[in-house]
Amino acid sequence: MRTTQMTIPDAVIERAYEGKCTKEDALLLLNGSPFELFKLADELRALAVGDLVSYVVNRNIYITNKCVGNCGFCAYRTNKNSYILSLDEILEKAEEAQKAGAVELCIQGGYTPEADIEFYLEILEALKAEFPELCIHAFSPMEVNYAAELSEMSVKEALEKLKKSGLDSLTGTSAEILSDRVRKIICPSKLSTQQWINTIKMAHKVGLSTNATIMYGHIETLEERLDHIFSIREIQEETGGFSEFIPMSFLPYNNKIGEEMLASGKFSSTGLEDLQLLAISRIILHTHVDNIQATWVKLGKKLAHVALSCGANDLGGTLTEDQISSAAGGSNGEFVSPQEFEWMIKKAGKIPMQRDTLYRAVKARSPGRAERLPEKMEEKNRSEIWEKKKWGTGNKRSSKIQL
Ligand code: SF4
């Protein structure tokens, strides 16, 4: 006998299924039972991507910890022991990654006068010449704007050159919270909300995919979090260029904003809030952005595992190193093996799929992964399923951008 009933109004559920969740709906859902919220998000996840849960074998490369920025949440930039990797060092790290079975290099760093557009182009061209099969997911709208200014060119020109030199996907970082009130406090020298949006739209326009991120759990209000997610939806409606959405909880250690919060007795977000934000992201972005990532490096592996039943369909990357989170007090490690990802996914009752940056299914290249495909499921079938469901394929969004 059924003992519980969903209390979410039918109209709210209908709008969610149609991809038309409103801000009022989102607030109602967040103020209601978290278990009903998770259930609805899980249903929409199943509709969007089925039971495939993806991850990418990748490696982060931090090209420099120098930065002229002054973000109050940053524990990464430093004046002491600062470095800029040489081209040889970058190539060495890429070679290690390739030998370990990586299909993606994620290249990040601060913005600094030494890094103009030519600096980034040289890195891309060298990497593509040596490792043409590796996807390069790199640089942020902030780095591109700063470097374009140094090189005295427009952002459009900079993005076109980056793409031509081998950039496969621009990162959607430096979004933090898309609210100028918040940005003035936490990252006053970064791009404004509108500049971030303009850069992302331009990237999509020149044919570069990007992901979208939100960094929450500091000084922003709940409404500002929601406005951010709705901004991502609006951009996606216009361009179709986002590959995924990644909620990232703020890590409050070793940085000014975090220290102030800790002193006032606030400790970033709770696990429940993390799951609620992930679930509401799935609901708001339903029919717009198919891939919602549970990022284990912020959530921890166990909460990321639970997130697979609350709307998430991707576990992100194996990483190899994560200087940014570990500097800010992250304690979840810097590497998860493909084997462990697959175990986590199967334990959640889902089907693991190794992907590349653009959510295309890839053949396993990791050493020691003898049995990757689920029983009775050929690679071809699995790719076909994914092909139908992945972002940009066979829906109205795909006509807006050719990648
Ligand atoms: S978060 Fe990035 S942009 Fe901001 S100060 Fe740190 S390294 Fe610089």
Q: Smallest Cα–Cα separation from 283: which of 332, 333, 252, 245?
A: 245
CA distances from 76 to 164, 191, 198, 256 (A): 30, 19, 26, 12
Ligand 1 pocket mutation, candidates 71, 195, 257, criterion most atoms within 8 A of CB: 71
Q: Can you give the pLDDT at residue 95?
A: 96
Smallest CA separation from ligand 1 atom 4, residue: 71
Q: Can you give the pLDDT at residue 328?
A: 64
Strand, helix or coil at 399?
A: helix
List pLDDT tens digits, range 227-276: 999 999 999 999 999 999 999 999 999 999 999 999 999 989 999 999 99
Smallest CA separation from ligand 1 atom 2, residue: 110
Q: Smallest Cα–Cα separation from 249: which of 211, 297, 298, 182?
A: 298
Q: If you average pLDDT over every residue of the chain, what do you get?
A: 89
Smallest CA separation from ligand 1 atom 1, residue: 74
pLDDT band of residue 4 (cuts 50, 70, 90) is low
Check whether 393 has a pLDDT greater than 50: no
235's tokens: 């951009």
Calculate how far, in angstroms, residue 108's C-alpha sits from the geometric centre of ligand 1.
10
List pLDDT tens digits, range 14-23: 999 999 999 9
Calculate how far, in angstroms, residue 273's C-alpha sits from the geometric centre of ligand 1.
25
Q: Residue 255 and residue 252: Cα distance in Å, rounded?
A: 7
- Amino acid occupying residue 13: I
| DSSP string over 327-391 | HTT--S-S---HHHHHHHHHHTT-EEEEB-TTS-B----STT----SPTT--HHHHHHHHHHHST
Judge if pTM exceeds 0.75: yes
Q: Can you give the pLDDT at residue 133?
A: 94
List pLDDT tens digits, range 112-169: 999 999 999 999 999 999 999 999 999 999 999 999 999 999 999 999 999 999 999 9
Residue 68 CA, closest ligand 1 atom number: 8
Smallest CA separation from ligand 1 atom 6, residue: 74
Q: Residue 286 and residue 292: Cα distance in Å, rounded?
A: 10
CA distances from 392 to 16, 130, 244, 288, 395 (A): 20, 29, 11, 10, 7
Q: Which residues form the pocket of ligand 1, taking CB atoms under 6 Å from any ligand atom?
A: 67, 69, 71, 74, 76-77, 110-111, 142, 187
Q: Smallest Cα–Cα separation from 302: which of 324, 333, 325?
A: 333
List pLDDT tens digits, range 157-210: 999 999 999 999 999 999 999 999 999 999 999 999 999 999 999 999 999 999
Residues 6+ apart with CB under 8 A from 321: 59, 60, 62, 334, 335
Q: Domains plus CATH for the chain?
A: 43-392 (3.20.20.70)
